[in-house]
């Protein structure tokens, strides 16, 4: 019996040293919290479809909390399947402003807003090459979705519905280019947030 005392004491000592490691495992590291967006943010965005339509698009935005204000410039050659006037070319350009509010959270998810734009159009009759220039104002609303991408980039599909204040029909030489007062404009923007 005395011969077993050192062995039992050794096992007991090893158990004492190993018990804290078994009894109190390291607590799991809490997941990293997503840092909230800063209160004031600046961004820049473009409409890729405008460049496909041989034009340009550049918009700068200022956001405060869930509100975003945007001013921009744009141009495009409107394809015939949109203006639906055979034998005419329609090149438009202008300036616009938008005010949006994010519905759920800052810089994420759905947004709604209002917009207005001043538009200059150059309409040409392909058969006679006669051109007429016209100007109009458009005001309306819009809604879309803001998808955040890595490295402060984002993509934002949206659709706008507006009313045109100006001439509905434009005479070009001896032909008439008809326009409707209501406009439907679906597109998407790609942008970058400066933080």
Helices (H), the chain: 5-23, 48-52, 80-83
User: Does CATH place domain 38-194 in 2.40.110.10?
Assistant: no
* Structural domain spans, the chain: 38-194
pLDDT at 63: 95
Closest CA to 169 of 93, 78, 88: 88
The Cα–Cα gap between 149 and 93 comes to: 29
pLDDT tier at 6, thresholds 50, 70, 90: very low
Mean pLDDT (whole number) for 156-175? 88
Q: What is the pLDDT confidence band of residue 189, given thresholds at 50, 70 and 90?
A: very high
pLDDT (tens digit per residue) in 172-185: 888 888 888 898 89
Residues 51-103 have pLDDT tens digits of 999 999 999 999 999 999 999 999 999 888 777 888 888 899 999 999 999 99
The confidence band for 127, taking pLDDT boundaries of 50, 70 and 90, is: confident
Distance from C-alpha of 188 to C-alpha of 94, rounded to nearest angstrom: 18
> In the prediction, which pLDDT does 172 show?
86
pTM of the model: 0.75
């Amino acid at each position: 019996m005395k011969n077993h005392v050192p062995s039992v004491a050794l096992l007991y000592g090893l158990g004492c040293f190993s018990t804290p490691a078994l009894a109190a495992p390291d607590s799991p590291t809490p997941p990293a919290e997503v840092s909230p967006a800063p209160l004031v943010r600046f961004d820049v965005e473009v409409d890729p479809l405008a460049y496909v339509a041989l034009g340009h698009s550049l918009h700068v935005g200022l956001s405060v909390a869930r509100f975003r204000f945007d001013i921009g410039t744009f141009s495009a050659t409107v394809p015939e399947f949109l203006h639906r006037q055979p034998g005419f070319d329609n090149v438009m350009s202008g300036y616009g402003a938008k005010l949006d509010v994010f519905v759920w959270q800052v810089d994420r998810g759905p947004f709604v807003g209002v917009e207005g734009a001043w538009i200059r159009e150059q309409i040409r009759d392909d058969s006679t090459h006669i051109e007429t220039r016209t100007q109009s104002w458009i005001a309306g609303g819009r809604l879309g979705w803001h998808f955040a991408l890595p490295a402060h980039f984002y993509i934002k599909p949206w659709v706008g519905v507006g009313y045109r204040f100006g001439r509905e029909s434009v005479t070009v030489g001896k032909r008439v280019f008809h326009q409707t007062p209501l406009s439907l404009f679906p597109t998407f923007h790609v942008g970058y947030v400066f933080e």
